[in-house]
């Protein structure tokens, strides 16, 4: 493989991950500002239950990233963890739209947060696709697209709040599936 092909493939890899990060954060951040109110008012959880759900979700993030990073290095298979992570996010967003009781939300919150398993393998692929001269730019693009997706998602949540929680949660699954 010649250098220009390698450079072209590396650029495509970074841009693909940047687009995926934008779309995933777009969907995720449609839910983010609505989540506490949805869980407490629609699902009837008290603040302690909300804390339990979110605390468990945060623990799952740390565990899933550590495990996926270790296994993706060991197996030299990164894409399976990345695809599984994005699938977890999309499924959980649909799940949020259909739950009727707060204990049901635990399953989908754990699934959503387990989707963060994609982070370490994705970052490893970006590092592998980067050179010393463009590593900062590549990771900067990724973080910029993360943040831009978050801003767009929160904006959609605010502008279309009248559509209702469940409709917005289903809408949030679309960018992740893309």
Which whole-number Å values give the CA distances from 76 to 68, 71, 79, 157, in the listed order?
Answer: 11, 8, 9, 38
Q: Quick one: 4 exposed, middle or buried, by C-beta within 10 A (0-12, 13-18, 19+)?
A: exposed
With contact defined as beta carbons under 8 Å apart, do 60 and 113 qualify? yes
Decide if domain 17-177 falls under CATH 1.20.1250.20. Answer: yes
How long is the chain? Answer: 178
Task: Please give the pLDDT value at position 1.
Answer: 38
Tokens 């919150």 belong to residue: 109
- Other residues' Cβ atoms within 10 Å of the Cβ of residue 139: 16
Structure-token match 């030299």, residue found: 76
The pLDDT of residue 6 is 64
What pLDDT sits at residue 18?
Answer: 95
Residue 22 in this model has a pLDDT that exceeds 60: yes
E strand or H helix that includes residue 113: helix 102-114
| Both structure tokens of 81 | 């963890």
**What pTM did the predictor assign?**
0.88
pLDDT at 2 over 60: no
Average pLDDT, stretch 23-31? 96
- What confidence tens digit (pLDDT) does each residue in 97-108 have? 999 999 999 999
Output the pLDDT for position 166: 96
Mean pLDDT over each residue of the chain, to the nearest integer: 93
Residue 100: which of 37, 39, 161 has the closest Cα? 39
Q: Is 108:99 a contact under the CB 8 Å cutoff?
A: yes
**Structural contact between residues 127 and 72, judged by C-beta atoms closer than 8 angstroms:** no
| Measured distance CA(86)–CA(20) in Å, rounded | 9
Rounded Cα distance, 29 and 44, in Å: 22
What's the pLDDT score for residue 7?
A: 79
Distance CA 72, CA 36 (A): 33
């Amino acid at each position: 493989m010649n250098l220009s092909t390698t450079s072209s493939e590396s650029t495509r890899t970074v841009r693909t991950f940047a687009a995926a990060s934008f779309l995933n954060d777009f969907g995720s951040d449609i839910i983010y500002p609505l989540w506490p109110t949805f869980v407490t008012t629609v699902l009837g959880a008290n603040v302690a239950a909300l804390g339990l759900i979110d605390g468990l979700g945060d623990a799952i993030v740390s565990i899933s990233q550590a495990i996926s990073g270790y296994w993706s290095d060991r197996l030299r298979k990164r894409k399976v963890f990345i695809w599984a992570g994005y699938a977890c996010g999309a499924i959980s967003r649909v799940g949020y739209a259909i739950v009727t009781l707060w204990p049901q939300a635990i399953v989908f919150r754990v699934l959503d947060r387990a989707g963060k398993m994609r982070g370490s393998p994705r970052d490893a692929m970006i590092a592998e696709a980067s050179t010393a001269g463009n590593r900062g730019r590549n990771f900067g693009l990724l973080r910029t697209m993360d943040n831009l997706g978050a801003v767009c998602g929160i904006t959609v949540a605010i502008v279309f709040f009248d559509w209702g929680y469940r409709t917005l949660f289903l809408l949030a699954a679309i960018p992740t599936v893309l």
